Amino acid sequence: MTEQPLSLRNLTKKFGGKIAVDDVSFDVKPGEIIGFLGPNGAGKTTTIRMALGLIKQDKGEVSLFGGDPGPRTFGRIAFLPEERGLYKKQTARETIAHMARLNGMKARDAFPLADRLLDKYGLGEAKRKKNKDMSKGMAQKVQLLAAIAHDPEFYVLDEPFSGLDPVNQQVLENMVREIAERGRTIIFSTHVMEHAERLCDRIILMSCGRVVFDGSIEDALAKAPRRLVIQSDDKKINTILEPFATSIEERSDGALTVFLKPEKEAFAIVEKCVKAKIRLTRFEPKNPSLHEAFVTMVGEDEAAKMHAGVFA
């Protein structure tokens, strides 16, 4: 039976009397891709550091591959920390080979591996460029390649997309998919919800130190209010809409945004309009977004921090 990469039970951590992580529990199963989301100060990075044994929890238990975090697990994990940093005088090739060797690979294998990775991910021209001379995006890609060079079982990536331009974000998304196709387990934090929506089997949302949601993308989206945009020249349309709506908002283009009650269906509005001989000039059910789901779960202020990209 495959070992479970990570299990957290009732983790709690205080800094200066302030609770940073409050009774957090979740499991990471083999082969999952998990998006770890939450606004600034939510406790994601602190949780990741406790999970890897980098800081000690005040309360609770961590099981990393069935035991305590420590040297026995180092070779089984790739960790990209939130803080970026490379040896300035090393080249990209040396950096990747160095990390591979630290994880048990021989030099005769590590340097060819570094060359292959750099070529594969569009950094072939940077093989002998010193890290201090690289752009921020290039240096970040080198650090990620160094973290994953030994091809471990479990990838823990803290804000991997931060600082990358859209082209390199797409490169990284493809890299995550390739890793997942090899059966590896991945958890990454991100403030870009689209990354989580495109890549993840599951998302974990933290707010104010606690897990407020843990489940599939579909389950998260189901928490968002269903809405549609509707338009008619007939003034009786509001009378039809009121029994279906929790709220109705008038748009600048004259249409109405209707937020549906949980028990109501959008197409029942069409039936009512047909019976009342009300002509609709516009009828557009809208798919909910993760941002709308998060507003429902954590409130406008917390969700606004996420939407603005202010994360920790």
- Residue-wise pLDDT for 63-101, tens only, equals 999 999 988 888 899 999 887 778 889 999 999 999 999
Beta bridge partners, 256, equal 230, 250
Are residues 178 and 252 both part of a single domain?
no
Average pLDDT, the chain: 89
CATH number of the domain at 210, please. Answer: 3.40.50.300
Yes or no: say if 24 and 206 are a contact pair by the CB < 8 Å rule: yes
Say yes or no: 121 and 178 in one domain.
yes
Taking residues 142-170, report their average pLDDT.
89
Does residue 243 fall inside a structural domain?
A: yes
pLDDT band at residue 311 using 50, 70 and 90 as cut-offs = very low
Task: Kindly state whether residue 312 falls inside one of the protein's structural domains.
Answer: no
Q: Give one word for 230, left, alpha or beta, with left for phi > 0 and alpha for psi -120 to 50.
A: beta
Say whether both 245 and 278 belong to one domain.
Answer: yes
Query: Domain boundary residue among 221, 253, 275?
Result: 221
Local confidence band at 154 (pLDDT 50, 70, 90 cut-offs): very high
How far apart, in whole angstroms, are the C-alpha atoms of residue 37 and residue 57? 20
How much of the chain, in percent, has pLDDT values that exceed 90?
A: 60
Same-domain status, 115 and 166: yes
Same domain, 165 and 268: no
Q: Give the residue, 1 or 64, on which the prediction is more confident.
A: 64
Same domain, 181 and 78: yes
Q: Indicate whether 257 and 190 sit together in one domain.
A: no
Tokens 């008038």, residue? Answer: 250
Tell me how crowded residue 7 is: count the other CB atoms within 10 A of its CB: 17
CB 186 within 8 A of CB 36: no
Mean of pLDDT values over 34-46: 90
Tally of domains within the chain: 2
Cα 58–Cα 60–Cα 66 angle in degrees, nearest 5: 125
The C-alpha atoms of residue 48 and residue 40 are separated, in whole angstroms, by: 15
Distance of CA 173 to the CA centre of its chain: 11
Tell me: do 149 and 279 sit in the same domain: no
Residue 45 sits in the same domain as residue 192: yes
**Domain check: are 128 and 155 in the same one?**
yes
For residue 266, the enclosing domain spans 225-287
The CATH number given to whatever domain includes residue 234 is 3.30.70.100
**Would you place residue 307 in the very low, low, confident or very high pLDDT band (cuts 50, 70, 90)?**
low
pLDDT exceeds 60 at position 202: yes
The predicted-structure confidence for 112-123, as pLDDT tens digits, reads as follows 999 999 999 888
